[in-house]
Amino acid sequence: MQRIESHASYGGVQEVWQHESRVLGCSMRFGVYLPPQLQLGPCPVLYWLSGLTCNEQNFITKSGIQQHAAAHGLIVVAPDTSPRGEGVANADSYDLGQGAGFYLNATQAPWASHYRMHDYVVDELPALVERQFPATGLRSVSGHSMGGHGALVVALRNPGRYRSVSAFSPIVAPSRVPWGQKAFAAYLGEQREHWREWDACELIATARERLPLLVDQGGADEFLTRELQPELLEQACDAQAHPLLLRRREGYDHSYYFIASFLAEHMAHHAQALQAK
């Protein structure tokens, strides 16, 4: 582990670390905010999963997360969105390859040797964080767009691992929209039955935990009707009586201006769950 950035912020420290990932077979970076409450003892961790084209920098520099994390005493970890580097498979388009890991475990060549972002986010990264930093072992997860898809999927696939989950503008049914169909066909192959394991709307039907889902969606989001379709998540949750709070925010788009506007409410949601006895 090598610390490559450190900035004082709201009484805590915003850092960026680099390490060699065994799961991904490459060097990875992640941002970690360490709140001032760590002076009194270990704190719980919120994992943030970013969207297409992003890396570890977007969320920590654009959202204003540090103020909210300091107010609630939460460590916030923001990993990169995919494996990267020479020798890691890539594509010419922004929605496949490096910067577009989709938080799944790829099974198809040439992606399978590196693209295992689910195992990285769920297992390897938390183990590393909990060894390196004074974390309690309590976790929550959130994300945006592709990362919103990732947050919902890792929570639904891993019952008991997270205290809470939320998402901004998530891709809720990747099996049914162009972004997801392109990525799933490449990473998982053309047999669509394998796609269900990575689709939040499909996972709701077999969920073994009724972890409430908190979702905010901008009404002026340019990707709303083509790629996001939150009504599909609403229908899936209604069919299974799975708790969902879906808030449609009129006038808001897909940008970090939207995320920053409602991030305080998401942080309060996670803090309440993480600090509950």
Cα 238 → chain centroid = 24
Token pair 């090598």 in the structure block, residue = 2
Name the active-site residue from 145, 164, 166, 169: 145
Annotated catalytic residue 145: yes
Annotated catalytic residue 255: no
Name the active-site residue from 254, 266, 269, 270: 254
Name the active-site residue from 221, 242, 266, 270: 221
Beta bridge mates, 49: 143
Task: Let me know the angle formed at the C-alpha of 41 by 36 and 44, rounded to the nearest 5 degrees.
Answer: 80
- Active site residue ranges: 145, 221, 254
